[in-house]
Structure 1
Amino acid sequence: MSDSVLLLRRVRERSGEAAAAAASGGASSSPGPAPRRKRGRRRRFYPEHRVYRARSSFLDLSEEQVLRRYRLDKAAIAGLCRELGADLESLTGRSHALPVAVKVTSALTFLASGSFQTATRDSTGISQSAMSNCLAQFLEALQRRAARYIAFPAPGRPAPPAGTGAFPGVLGLLGSMHVALRAPSENEVAFRNARNFHSMNMQVVCDAAGAITNVVAKFPGSCPNAAVLENSALARLLEGARPEGAWLLGDRSYPLKTWLMTPILFPCGAAEERYNALHHQALAALRQTRALLKRRFRCLDAAGGCLQYAPQKVCQIFLACCVLHNIALRRRMPLEPPEGPEPDPEPELPLQAPHVQISSEARAVRARIVQQLEFTVQMSCESCAEAVREALRGAPGVRLLELRLEAQTVLVEAELAAERVRELLEASGRRAVLKGMGGAEDGEYKPGWGAPNWAGGEGGGQTGPGVPTCVPVASLGAAVAALSGPGGVRGLVRFLQVSPQRCLVDGAIDGLQPGPHGLHVHEFGDLSRSCDSCGDHFNPDGECHGGPEDEHRHAGDLGNVWADADGRAAFRMEDSRLKVWDIIGRSVVVDAGEDDLGRGSHPLSRVTGNSGPRLACGVVARAAGLFQNPKRVCSCDGLTLWDERDRAAAGPPPAPAPHL
C-alpha cells in the first residue's frame, strides 16, 4: 500500500474519533458559550535585596538652606512634626514607611516652590505617588488645626487704640485673593473671574501686623467679593455683636456697612480726602500680606502656572499657606529673596455692586469718622504739646488725629459738642479756638454740573456722562450763628452738613435759666428790631409745628436744649430736614420756655410750640470748613486770635494760664 493511502486512512480515523467524543459530550450538557479562563492575581516579585532611594533630611541642611527651601526654620519644622505626628505616622512599619519629617518637608517643598509634584519628588527622594499622598495627608492634618493659628478677635474685646495720624478703631483689614486653578470639568464658567482666568476667590482678613485672622476659602472666582462676605460667618458675627467704635476696613469692591468702612468714591473737601488717605494707608498692611503670601508660597502665584487640582484641594492648599504664614510671622522668620520674577500684585477690583442701597445708619457711622474739628491751641514748646495730648488721652468720644506744634493746630475726631472739646483742650492750661469743622460728603456743587450723587448706591446714577457729581469748590457745608440778646444771653450755634439727609447742629448758649428752652431756625435774618423781626419758623413746606423726630414739622424746628445749673446749654444733635445751603442768611432764635413740640393744648402749640418770648438770636453765616481758616489777626479791628477768644460770645473769658 502506498504511503499516500496510509496517510489518508490515519486522517479519517482521527477525524472519526474526534466526532465520537464530541457527540458523547454534547448529550450531557446544553449548548452555550465556552467558559472564560480565570485570570490569576499577578504576584509581584521583589529582588532579594531591595534598593530604596536616598532620603534627604532637613537636619542635614544649614539654617539658610532650610529657610530657602521650606520657608520655615528647623525649630518650626520640628514643631510641625511633633504636632502633626499623630496624623502622619504610619500605623505599621511595613514596606519601609515614610517618616513624619519626610512627609512634612515634602509638602513644604511643594508649597514653597510651586513646582509640579514630579519635579518636587526629585529633591525629596520619594516617588511621585508617595509625594501625592504626603501632600494630601499634610493638608488634611493642618486643616484640622487651623483654628489654633487663625482666630478673629472676640466680639467683647474693646476697640483697638489708634495712633496719631492712624485710622481709628480698626478690627481688621478685609480683602480678597484669587488663586488660579485648572479649569474644572463641571460648571467651568463659575470659576472664571473678572480677569478671565479660572480661580478660587479667597477672602482674607489680617491685622496691622500682617497676621491673618480670618479666611473664607470655598467660593469660585466669579463670585463677587460682596457676595462672599454676605455669605460668611464673619458677617453674621459682626452684625450681631462688635465693640463700639470698631470696624473692618475694605476696598471699594465691598459695600459700606456699620461695621465695614470703605473709601468715599467721590471725596469732597479736605476732611474726606484725609479719610481716604488714612484708609488707603491702613490697607497697605493687607496689600503687603497678600504679596508676602505669594512670595513665601509660590504655589499661590499665578505667574508660575495654575494649580492642577480640584477646587476643594486648592482651598486646602490656600488655608495651609495661611497657617504656615502665621507660624512664620510669630517666629519672625526672614523671607529670603525668591527665585524668579516678583509675584503680580492683586489688582484693585472695580465696584462690583454699584447700585447696592447703602443704609443711612452705615453712612452716619462713616460720617462720624470723617467728622473732624480743627482747633488752634496756644502752644509754645514740647511740654505744652504733651499737656494737650494728656488732656485728650482717655477722653470718651474724642480721638486725637494730629498735633502740629509749629502751626499751633490740633485736629481731633469727636462725637462730643465742639464746646466740650474746647473745654478739654483748655483743661491743659492752654487757650483754644475752634477754627473749622469737616464732615462726610459736605461739598458744594455748581449749577449746571449736576446735583450731588448722594441718593441710591455709591457711585451710580450720574446726571450726565463725564460730569463730576461733587465739585469741591467753596463749601457751603458749614455755617455758624452768634446769638445775643438784651438779657445777657449769648451763644454760638454751628451747622455742618455731613450728608444730604443729615445736618449736625452743635453749640453752646450761656445765661439761660436752668431747664429746657426751645431752639428754632427762623425765616429772616433781620435783626433791626432784635429778635422780633426774625419772622416765623423756617417752614418752606407749609407744615404745622412739631418735634425734630416728627414727619410733619417745620424745617426749622430743632426741639429743646437743656441748660444746667450754671445756665449753660451745650448740645449736639442731628437733623434730617435742615440743609445748610437753605439756612444761610436766616436766623437762629432761642426762647425763654420749653417747646411742647406741638403736643400741647395751647392755641400756639401747633404754631410756635408755645415756647415763650425770644431771648437771643443771630444770623446764620457761612463758616470755615476744615483747614479753610488760616486767620491769625482780624482784618476789621486788628485783634489777634487770642484777643477774640477772650471776648468770645459763648461763655465767660477764661483766666490766663499761669505760664502765658
Structure 2
Amino acid sequence: MELALLVAFPRKRKMFLERPNHFTKWRDEQFFNRFRLSKNTVYFILDHIKERLASPTNRNNAVTPEQKLLITLRYYATGSFLTVCGDFVGVHKSTASQIIRLVSHELALLRPTFINFPSTSTEIDAIRQKFYNVAKFPKCVGAIDCTHVRIISPGGLDAEIYRNRKGYFSINVQTICDADLRIQNIVATFPGSNHDSTIFNYSSIRGKFERGEMKDSILVGDSGYALKTFLMTPFLNPTGDGQNTFNEAQIRTRNAIERSYGVWKKRFPVLAVGINLKLESVESIIVATAVLHNIACYFGEQTPRVTHELEQVIDLSTFSTRGTVDNVNEDGTLQRNKLVRYFESL
C-alpha cells in the first residue's frame, strides 16, 4: 500500500533558487564598491582559505567557498545581516552568522603570514627609511595608537568594563603601523574601558623593545603613552625652536597611524558601525579585517568611498583612552633631548 502511494504521489523535489555569481554579475567598480576589494584580490585571498571553507557535500544547495567569503566581505562592508541575506539568495540570517564566524576565524589564522613586525636588519632599515622620508624622524619603525571597535553588550557581570568613556561598548584595539599604513602588530582583546597605556604595558611588543631585540629603533606615540627610550611622545608644553621642531616632526611621523585607522574603517565599516555578533567572535573579525587591510595595501587597492554620515561615525570611533601617565622618565628624557639637538642641527 505504501509503495503504491509513493508511486502514485511521488515526493516533490525540493527546489532551490539559484544564487547569483557576484564575480560575473558586477562590473569591476560595482564589485569593489560592494565588497571593498577588487576581484583579483578576493581571488588571492580565496586561494589561501578555499579548502578549509569547502562544505563536505554539495547537497541541499550548499554555500560555496566563494560565496562564503563574499558573504563575509559584504558583512564587513555593511555590518548588516539583512543586507547580506538580501544579496545572497537562500541564505538565512543564522546561516550567514555561522559563515561569517567561520570565515573570520580562517582569515584570522593568516595573521602570522600577513601581520608581522620587522625582525631582520633589511626589514628594519627599509621601514626606518620610509618614516625618515616623511619628516626626517630617525630610527622610527612604527607609529602606535589605539582605536575603538563598537560591539554589542556582552552581558553578564563584567559587561561594564567594555563600556568606553564615550558611553558605548567596545574593544580598545592597539595597532602599530608602518609608513605605508600596513598593520605590523595588533592587540584586539582589551575591553573598551582600558587605557591605551595599559594595553601597551601588557603587550608582547613592549617586551620586545625592553629586551633590546629592536636595538636602537623607536616607536612614536601620542601623549597618552609614557615617554621611554624606545617610545617617543611629544612635548606637552614645548619651549624653543628645537622642541617645536621635534614636535612637528613627531606628529607628522605619527600621523600614519591615524590615517591607517581611517583607511581600515572605510574599507571595513563594520569596525565603526559595530560588530553585532557575540564577544567570542569579535577578536577574529577584527584581526581578519586587519589581515585583509594589509593584503589590500600590498596590492595597492584604493580606499573605498564612504558617505558623509559614515565618515562621521568613523571619526567618532577613533579616540584615545588616556589614563594618568607618568611622563618623567630619565632615560626617555635623555633620548628625546638627543633628538631635539638632532633637529636643531638640521
Normalising by structure 1, we get a TM-score of: 0.47
Match of 2:35 in 1: 70
Contact persistence 2:172–2:188 (CA under 8 A) = yes
Contact persistence 1:218–1:312 (CA under 8 A) = no
Identify which of 100, 105, 110 aligns with 2:65: 100
1:320 maps to 2:288: yes
Residue 133 to residue 310, structure 1, CA distance change in 2 (3 Å): closer
Give, in angstroms, the shift of residue 307 of structure 1.
Answer: 2.2
Q: Deviations over 1:582-627 (max 9, x none)?
A: xxxxxxxxxxxxxxxxxxxxxxxxxxxxxxxxxxxxxxxxxxxxxx
Structure whose residues are more often strand by fraction = 1
Contact persistence 1:200–1:311 (CA under 8 A) = no
Q: Which amino acid aligns with 1:280?
A: I
* Equivalent-residue separation in structure 2 for 1:152 and 1:324 (angstroms): 16
Give, in angstroms, the shift of residue 114 of structure 1.
Answer: 1.9
Give, in angstroms, the shift of residue 165 of structure 1.
Answer: 4.0
* Equivalent-residue separation in structure 2 for 1:320 and 1:127 (angstroms): 23
* Equivalent-residue separation in structure 1 for 2:306 and 2:199 (angstroms): 32
Residue 339 to residue 372, structure 1, CA distance change in 2 (3 Å): closer
* Equivalent-residue separation in structure 2 for 1:220 and 1:164 (angstroms): 33
Give, in angstroms, the shift of residue 219 of structure 1.
Answer: 0.5
Local SS of the residue matching 2:107: helix
Q: Which amino acid aligns with 1:327?
A: I
Match of 2:12 in 1: 48
1:137 maps to 2:107: no
Q: Deviations over 1:222-244 (max 9, x none)?
A: 11111101111111111112444
What is the correspondence of 1:17-36 to structure 2 with a 5 Å cutoff? none
* Equivalent-residue separation in structure 1 for 2:111 and 2:41 (angstroms): 16
Give, in angstroms, the shift of residue 177 of structure 1.
Answer: 0.8
Identify which of 256, 263, 282 aligns with 2:234: 263
Contact persistence 1:253–1:351 (CA under 8 A) = yes
What is the correspondence of 1:45-444 to structure 2 with a 5 Å cutoff? 48-60=12-24, 61-115=26-80, 117-125=81-89, 126-154=91-119, 156=121, 158-159=124-125, 160-161=128-129, 162-163=132-133, 165-186=135-156, 187-302=158-273, 306-339=274-307, 341=309, 342=311, 343-345=313-315, 346=317, 348-349=319-320, 351-354=322-325, 356=326, 358-372=328-342, 411-412=345-346
* Equivalent-residue separation in structure 1 for 2:186 and 2:111 (angstroms): 10
Q: Which amino acid aligns with 1:98?
A: V
Contact persistence 1:143–1:316 (CA under 8 A) = yes
Q: Which amino acid aligns with 2:275?
A: L
Contact persistence 2:147–2:318 (CA under 8 A) = no
Contact persistence 1:88–1:103 (CA under 8 A) = yes
Quick check: 252-261 or 235-244, which moved more?
235-244
Give, in angstroms, the shift of residue 357 of structure 1.
Answer: 6.1
* Equivalent-residue separation in structure 2 for 1:318 and 1:92 (angstroms): 30
Q: Deviations over 1:509-529 (max 9, x none)?
A: xxxxxxxxxxxxxxxxxxxxx
Structure whose residues are more often helix by fraction = 2
Local SS of the residue matching 2:63: coil
Residue 373 to residue 316, structure 1, CA distance change in 2 (3 Å): closer
* Equivalent-residue separation in structure 2 for 1:227 and 1:251 (angstroms): 14
Q: Deviations over 1:81-107 (max 9, x none)?
A: 221112100122333321110101111
* Equivalent-residue separation in structure 1 for 2:322 and 2:204 (angstroms): 23
Residue 257 to residue 47, structure 1, CA distance change in 2 (3 Å): farther
Residue 351 to residue 128, structure 1, CA distance change in 2 (3 Å): closer
Give, in angstroms, the shift of residue 350 of structure 1.
Answer: 6.8
Local SS of the residue matching 1:309: coil
Local SS of the residue matching 1:332: coil
Match of 2:7 in 1: none
Q: Which has the higher contact order (CA 8 A, sep 6+)?
A: 2
Q: Which amino acid aligns with 2:165?
A: A
Give, in angstroms, the shift of residue 129 of structure 1.
Answer: 2.2
* Equivalent-residue separation in structure 1 for 2:228 and 2:343 (angstroms): 24
* Equivalent-residue separation in structure 1 for 2:220 and 2:290 (angstroms): 20
* Equivalent-residue separation in structure 2 for 1:373 and 1:307 (angstroms): 44
Match of 1:478 in 2: none
Contact persistence 1:156–1:242 (CA under 8 A) = no
Give, in angstroms, the shift of residue 58 of structure 1.
Answer: 2.3
Contact persistence 1:210–1:288 (CA under 8 A) = yes
Give, in angstroms, the shift of residue 215 of structure 1.
Answer: 0.5
Local SS of the residue matching 1:82: helix
Q: Which amino acid aligns with 2:278?
A: A
Give, in angstroms, the shift of residue 271 of structure 1.
Answer: 0.6
Q: Deviations over 1:619-638 (max 9, x none)?
A: xxxxxxxxxxxxxxxxxxxx
* Equivalent-residue separation in structure 1 for 2:11 and 2:155 (angstroms): 42
Contact persistence 1:155–1:243 (CA under 8 A) = no
* Unpaired runs of at least 5, structure 1: 1-45, 375-410, 413-660
Match of 1:40 in 2: none
* Equivalent-residue separation in structure 2 for 1:300 and 1:321 (angstroms): 9
Moved over 4 A (4+): 155-159
How many residues were matched structurally?
A: 326
Q: Which amino acid aligns with 1:48?
A: K
Contact persistence 1:155–1:242 (CA under 8 A) = no
* Equivalent-residue separation in structure 1 for 2:110 and 2:321 (angstroms): 35
Match of 1:648 in 2: none
Contact persistence 2:135–2:252 (CA under 8 A) = no
Contact persistence 1:173–1:205 (CA under 8 A) = yes
Q: Deviations over 1:539-574 (max 9, x none)?
A: xxxxxxxxxxxxxxxxxxxxxxxxxxxxxxxxxxxx
* Equivalent-residue separation in structure 2 for 1:47 and 1:216 (angstroms): 54
Identity over aligned residues, as a percent?
A: 25
Match of 1:554 in 2: none
Local SS of the residue matching 2:133: coil
Give, in angstroms, the shift of residue 312 of structure 1.
Answer: 2.8
* Equivalent-residue separation in structure 1 for 2:279 and 2:302 (angstroms): 31
Q: Which amino acid aligns with 1:333?
A: E
Q: Deviations over 1:89-145 (max 9, x none)?
A: 012233332111010111110001222x13311112222222112111101111111
Match of 1:16 in 2: none
Give, in angstroms, the shift of residue 344 of structure 1.
Answer: 3.3
Q: Deviations over 1:11-31 (max 9, x none)?
A: xxxxxxxxxxxxxxxxxxxxx
Give, in angstroms, the shift of residue 348 of structure 1.
Answer: 4.8
Give, in angstroms, the shift of residue 292 of structure 1.
Answer: 1.0
Report which of the two structures shows the higher radius of gyration computed on alpha carbons: 1
* Unpaired runs of at least 5, structure 2: 1-9
Give, in angstroms, the shift of residue 347 of structure 1.
Answer: 5.2
